[in-house]
Amino acid sequence: MLDLIVKGTKMAVVVFWIALALSLVSVIPGPYGLFIVWAGGFVLLIHLFEYFFVKFRFAGEISFVKSMLFGFTYWLPIIIDDRENRH
């Protein structure tokens, strides 16, 4: 079930980044485009904090680019697999 949620969220994130790119080149007009750009900046900031938190908390090999693009949908399965393999 978690795998399905992670895959669905990854697809939603990809759609969001496409919408952000379209907003930056003014394909999405008006207040919607501006909202998407502000939301994109906020999401990038959150993903940056997530990256440093996971990198220092769990001290694993975490990709910066994948963390910035996908956030928890990238690193959460890695941490869960690591914990399952320890037991």
Which residue intervals of 1-87 are DSSP H helices? 2-24, 30-58, 64-70, 72-86
So what's the pLDDT on residue 12?
Answer: 92
Burial class of residue 67 in the structure, from the number of CB atoms within 10 Å of its CB (0-12 exposed, 13-18 middle, 19+ buried): buried
Q: What is the mean pLDDT of residues 67-76?
A: 85
Residue pLDDT, tens place only, 19-70: 999 999 988 888 888 999 999 999 999 999 989 988 888 767 788 888 888 8
